[in-house]
Amino acid sequence: MAEVDVVIMAAGKGTRMKSKLPKVLHTLAGRALLAHVVDTASSLLPRNVVVITGHGATEVEAALPGYICDGAEFSVNFARQEPQLGTGHAVQQALPFLPDDAGVVLVLSGDVPLTQVDTLRQLVAASGGDKLALLTLELPNPTGYGRIERNGEGGGDAVQAIVEHKDATEAQRAIREIYSGIMAAPAARLRTWLARLDNKNAQSEYYLTDIVKMAVADGVPVVAHKITDEVQVAGVNSPVQLAELERAYQRQQAVALMEQGVRLADPARLDLRGSLVCGQDVSIDVNCVFEGTVTLGEGVKIGANCVIANATIAAGVVVHPFTHIDGEKAGVTVGADARIGPFARLRPGARLGTDVHIGNFVEVKNSTLGAGAKANHLAYLGDATVGARVNFGAGSITANYDGVNKHRTVIGDDVHVGSNCVLVAPITLGAGGTVGGGSTLTKDAPEGVLSVARGRQVAIANWKRPVKKV
């Protein structure tokens, strides 16, 4: 395959989005539309990726970091289109970044996020470095799209021109085969065609599609790679179209998971905004959201209305409804056969051992819990190391923050912490100890002892409750 350079057009304002945010930065599956396109382009291992920016250029350029593909890092180059004078004018801005050789230039749109890598590979192969290849498909309602004109009776194979909708005759508008906006062109030829563009059309713009007629005139074959999947070439011009593509994308992800054996209670009520790897016999109830990188081990059960991000959950775990797990950069790990929730929260750095129980309204952050440890109700464990088989009572917390620094709490194996206790860090509770309910501990507790730190109960006779004055 010829060397590939990619040009992504992302200069448009997106007026119909009715938003201050540049159109290509609106999100699908939790990521910017443009990021989807760049990721797809990177899978082709191109020599060069050039993004044409214009409206909101500073925001758009700041949104794309360096990219790594197959272990090789590459940068994204930016070319500004100011003012925006059409698609041909946009690609002209990329010329300083494009080698004048036998390579292929692949032109993509930053608001068309779901084109598949294999489709683009086939399009580049169709070009072969010596032909102009267009990605096309037939639509029942092609309004707004450029029409593919072919020669010969009944629509022969050879493409003769692309006619923009606004410039088309009634007969041309009856054509259902449309140009998707994606093409692969010989690099050296493209440079000469771009230099010959003019703006003599209904919109007074420089149309990239006019190069088709130039290629025909120059004797360069123009081929169409026709597909049938409309989602691959669907662009986003309004919130309605964005929502439609979101559902199409999520349906694709749901089908792929079910084909791997995942049981989804309702495929229409799953949101995958990252990568999800599942073992055998995983079941996921309705309205669950997965973000970042999530791994679910064999037999994991996810209850309804859970949000899980950047977590590794081992085999046999049950995550009850309305649980929120977000590991962010530090990640969260949950050991085998643990029980989490309902209404639990695991934050970055939570490391739970096997058979750990985290119950309703319990929050765990940057803490390690040993096998069999339990915090079943209304508790907070932050910056703690908790041993095996510890029982952490309802309403108890580790007070880990002194207003400046975080401090660690260490709880030995088999400790029982009663209800409504405060462990003021830094503090260590020795193995086998018990903390009496309602205690506030500020000093280390030895192994195997009962520690109580609370005021003596007092009964005051003849005390009267204040009465509200009328």
Q: How far apart are CA 33 and CA 10, in angstroms?
A: 10
Residue with tokens 């494009």: 98
Phi-psi group of 144: left, alpha or beta (phi > 0 → left; psi -120 to 50 → alpha; rest → beta): left
Alpha-carbon torsion 53, 223, 124, 136, what sign?
positive
Long-range contacts of 348-354 (CB under 8 A, 24+ apart): 348/310, 350/325, 353/388, 354/314
DSSP 383: S
What tokens appear for 26 in the block?
Answer: 């609106």
- Please tell me whether residue 98 adopts helix, strand or coil conformation: coil
CB-side exposure of 358: number of CA atoms within 13 Å?
38
Residue 283's CB is within 10 A of a number of other CB atoms, namely 16
55 as an active site residue: the answer is no
Residue with tokens 């996810």: 302
Q: At what angle do helices 33-42 and 117-127 cross, to 10 degrees?
A: 60
Spatial CA neighbour of 107 closest among 126, 94, 122: 94
Print burial letters for 261-273: b (CB count within 10 Å at least 16), e (below 16). Answer: ebebeebebbbbb
Spatial CA neighbour of 377 closest among 358, 397, 350: 358
| 258 contacts 250 by C-beta, under 8 angstroms | no
| 130 contacts 195 by C-beta, under 8 angstroms | no
Q: Tell me the residue type at 155.
A: G
For the chain, the first-to-last Cα distance in angstroms comes to 90
Pick the catalytic residue: 36, 320, 357, 377?
Answer: 377
Q: How far apart are CA 400 and CA 256, in angstroms?
A: 43
State the virtual CA torsion across 424, 430, 431, 434 in degrees, nearest 10.
-60
From residue 190, how far is each of 79, 126, 214 by CA, in Å?
Answer: 17, 16, 10
The residues assigned a catalytic role are: 377
